[in-house]
Structure 1
Amino acid sequence: MAKDANAAMETIQFPCASCGGAMLFDADSQQLKCQYCGRLQAIESDTALPQEHALDDGMREEADTDWGVAQQTIKCESCGGESLIPALQTATLCPFCGSPKVLPQPAAATIKPESLIPFQVDSDDAKNAFRAWKKKRWFLPGAFKRENTSARLAGIYIPYWTYDANTASDYTAERGDYHYRTVTRTRVVNGKTETYTEQERYTVWHWVSGDYERFFNDVLIPASGQYDAKLLDRLGNFELGGLIGYKPDYLSGYIAERYSVNRTRGWEEARERIDGELRGDIRSKIGGDEVRSLNINTDYYDRTFKHLLLPVWNANYNYKSKSYRFMVNGQTGLVSGTAPRSAWKITFFVLACLAVVGVIVLWYASSQQTPPQ
């Protein structure tokens, strides 16, 4: 764990048995590690499988707010981000945007996650992953690729919901199948009228109907209000088989974001994603060359949810006075982010594409002409 995170601590939640120093979770060893003497301490594992809750049942949130250590909520005045840190710790910078304008908030009960995936990528690995990510982006300015980007990484556990659901859908639609017929046409070539034939396509439409069933497992929805949904989607290759029972030890040295999306709103987002996949599945099942007037009615049942924390490295950086963000999946090392673009590289690419298209058009036009008799 980076030393700048240790410097901000004013209270030791997990003191070292050897020297009394702060023990923080170490991604490499998956144990607590003393930041002074290097002593390792194993974390008692919880092998129980993550619990599924029935979505239609009320969850006793008042019984699920004990995080194992006293927590306080801090809010950034610049970006509005809310995060949880140990009660006596003083936060100096916002972990989301890097602003120093962070203020403690009145005590409020916060849902405790039941499971999490611990960090398995440390800060150095996250920085190396970002450097490799930069090199693979062709449209980035060369100077930006070469320079050592200065960014303060913050290790954050982002809250997520997962949803399971069985679905039963019935549908109606019009399926279109392409057919071809030979037609005779005329054209003028070099001042002469000539007759030629070609294949003409037409579509035959007919009504279809049917039913479709599918089970959706672990539809992952972020309960975060601080990130661009597209960036999180690109980052979301988490391997949920790695979930383990929550213990406060795994948060030592890291920050947890407070839940800002409740489970009802999370289900609405999950249902939109499910409906989109069902639409694609049913269109494929219908077959044909085109589908129109598709109408789907879906029933959802056996709906369940889990609430958990997933590890992410977050960083904001500046390039030529503009702010950008990148994130690194704390389990897999996958990078998602925004970056500056090179105007001349984009222009060159567009011109090259136009040149290729122009050559193809000229070739096609010349191939259609009949040489003079």
Structure 2
Amino acid sequence: MTTQDAENVKQVKLDFDAECPSCSASIEFNPATGKLSCPYCGYETEIATPEEQEEKIAQEMDFAKAEERGNFNWGVEKKTVICKACAAETIYDALQVADSCPYCGYNQVMEASAENTLAPNGVCAFEITDKQAGDNFQRWIKGRWFTPKAAKNSAKPDSFKGVYLPYWTFDTKTSSRYSAKYGRHRTVTDKDGNTRTETDWYSTSGFYQEFIDDYLISATTRYDRNMMRKIEPFNLLNNKAYKPEYVTGFLSERYSIGLQDGWSQAKREIHDHLSAQITSKVRWEKNADVVSNLRFSTTHDDITYKYLMLPIWLSSFRYKEKIYQFMVNGQTGQVGGDAPISPLRVTIAVVLSLIAIAIIWYFFMSE
């Protein structure tokens, strides 16, 4: 290890003792029971529930008061963890919050935040098991019409990896002043009896307010964002205040997309949402057929955020020497991923569609 590498390695503490009091093996969170259990001796214990209601779920945090807003460079920062079970030293990416010792398998839950990062304040725990995730995958791939039959029959997921990924959620009160043009269509008949559509245009302006609740933004750059969107939504209301007990037995990572960049992305997406909402408002209020030249400016007030750890099952399967990855939502079981495509099946679908269009056109012309 170079001197520079040594400077980048930080000694960190463990937040949670994952040792089974019965047999000294590693205990882990069990999605089937919602308890901590030992896979070796069967020992189970409840996770302590706070007495105060506000301590049971993740609380909204004041965006303006957040001190650490920047991104976190996981490619540079490293940390070393000493295993409580076998005393082995392991170097991890600084983003990792939970993993198991590669030497003895002991579940390790490390500190949730570093000196220059925020700590998660909520977690949505796993609600489905790896077996249920595998069953959902089998149903998902069998429903892929363009996937070759051989792939459906042979696709067996590799061992599942349960991962808690970091997300930001944002609440904001939006107030938007807008101006736009709207048009109403009318049919005009000329002297020869031919008809055409003309549009009468009018100007309008107004004010639109909407409260945005728990707008979700992924805080990791490690995974395919398009695939992650396929397994949304998550049940964000079913969250719990962060406890290290919930992540034991699973991989988990802290954010690499910081609070400020997360909010910037959220504002862009919220702007697109507001554009669609204001357009619908104008169409409804003015009985308009079309809306154009929409211009608006938005003020955001009372911005709050939550930093949540959300559960995902990761796996892959091999078909014709190619690896296809997929994800399963750890709460809902929704599956998203890649699957092989059969060119023959696609060609058949296109041909059948063209035949159907030709038949409909034929009967239409005949009448």
TM-score (norm 1): 0.79
AA aligned to 2:198 is: Y
User: Displacement of 1:108 after TM fit?
Assistant: 6.7
Alignment of 1:333 with 2:351, yes or no, is no
User: Displacement of 1:322 after TM fit?
Assistant: 2.2
Q: Which residue matches 1:84?
A: 97
Q: Is the 8 A contact 2:171 2:214 kept in 1?
A: yes
Q: How does 1:286-301 map to 2 (within 5 A)?
A: 286-287=282-283, 288-301=288-301
Runs of 5+ consecutive residues of structure 2 not aligned to the other structure: 1-15, 70-80, 84-89, 105-113
Give secondary structure in 1 for the equivalent of 2:233.
Answer: coil
Give secondary structure in 2 for the equivalent of 1:140.
Answer: coil
Q: Is the 8 A contact 1:50 1:243 kept in 2?
A: yes
Alignment of 1:22 with 2:32, yes or no, is no
User: Displacement of 1:354 after TM fit?
Assistant: 1.6
- Distance in 1 between residues matched to 2:240 and 2:271, nearest whole Å: 30
User: Displacement of 1:182 after TM fit?
Assistant: 2.2
User: Displacement of 1:361 after TM fit?
Assistant: 3.4
Q: Which residue matches 2:4?
A: none
Give secondary structure in 2 for the equivalent of 1:332.
Answer: coil
Q: Which residue matches 2:156?
A: 149
AA aligned to 1:57 is: K
Q: How does 1:246-257 map to 2 (within 5 A)?
A: 246-257=242-253
Bigger mean CA deviation after superposition, 133-142 or 163-172: 133-142
Identity of aligned residues (%): 33
Alignment of 1:222 with 2:218, yes or no, is yes
Of 26, 45, 48, which aligns to 2:49?
Answer: 45
Give secondary structure in 2 for the equivalent of 1:348.
Answer: helix
- Distance in 1 between residues matched to 2:180 and 2:82, nearest whole Å: 57
Q: Which residue matches 2:229?
A: 233
Q: Is the 8 A contact 1:74 1:85 kept in 2?
A: no
- Distance in 1 between residues matched to 2:350 and 2:24, nearest whole Å: 61
Q: Is the 8 A contact 2:183 2:200 kept in 1?
A: yes
- Distance in 2 between residues matched to 1:273 and 1:132, nearest whole Å: 32
Cα-to-partner distance string for 1:159-215 (whole Å, 9 max, x where unaligned): 010000000111111101110122355xxxxxxxxxxx3432111111111110000
- Distance in 2 between residues matched to 1:120 and 1:277, nearest whole Å: 30
- Distance in 2 between residues matched to 1:21 and 1:35, nearest whole Å: 8
Change (3 A) 1:91 1:158: farther
Q: How does 1:101-120 map to 2 (within 5 A)?
A: 110-120=117-127
Alignment of 1:323 with 2:331, yes or no, is no
AA aligned to 1:207 is: S
- Distance in 1 between residues matched to 2:364 and 2:293, nearest whole Å: 36
Q: What is the total number of aligned residue pairs between the two structures?
A: 318
User: Displacement of 1:131 after TM fit?
Assistant: 0.5
AA aligned to 1:312 is: I
AA aligned to 1:89 is: C
- Distance in 2 between residues matched to 1:361 and 1:218, nearest whole Å: 48
Q: Is the 8 A contact 1:325 1:337 kept in 2?
A: yes
Give secondary structure in 1 for the equivalent of 2:64.
Answer: coil
User: Displacement of 1:223 after TM fit?
Assistant: 0.4
Give secondary structure in 2 for the equivalent of 1:145.
Answer: helix
AA aligned to 1:325 is: Q
Q: Is the 8 A contact 1:328 1:335 kept in 2?
A: yes
TM-score (norm 2): 0.80
Q: Which residue matches 1:182?
A: 189
Q: Is the 8 A contact 2:68 2:118 kept in 1?
A: no
User: Displacement of 1:83 after TM fit?
Assistant: 3.1
AA aligned to 2:210 is: R
- Distance in 1 between residues matched to 2:227 and 2:289, nearest whole Å: 34
Runs of 5+ consecutive residues of structure 1 not aligned to the other structure: 1-11, 62-68, 76-80, 93-106, 186-196, 368-373
Q: Is the 8 A contact 2:157 2:315 kept in 1?
A: no
- Distance in 1 between residues matched to 2:143 and 2:248, nearest whole Å: 34
Cα-to-partner distance string for 1:292-333 (whole Å, 9 max, x where unaligned): 111111111111111110110011332212222111111111
- Distance in 2 between residues matched to 1:73 and 1:358, nearest whole Å: 64
User: Displacement of 1:90 after TM fit?
Assistant: 2.6
Q: Which residue matches 1:189?
A: none
AA aligned to 2:252 is: A
Cα-to-partner distance string for 1:210-240 (whole Å, 9 max, x where unaligned): 1100000000111011222222222122111
Of 135, 142, 146, which aligns to 1:135?
Answer: 142
AA aligned to 2:58 is: P
Alignment of 1:356 with 2:356, yes or no, is yes
Alignment of 1:343 with 2:337, yes or no, is no
Q: Is the 8 A contact 2:125 2:246 kept in 1?
A: yes
- Distance in 1 between residues matched to 2:82 and 2:366, nearest whole Å: 78
- Distance in 1 between residues matched to 2:317 and 2:120, nearest whole Å: 30
- Distance in 2 between residues matched to 1:91 and 1:331, nearest whole Å: 31
Q: Is the 8 A contact 1:73 1:82 kept in 2?
A: no
Q: Which residue matches 1:307?
A: 307
Give secondary structure in 1 for the equivalent of 2:40.
Answer: coil
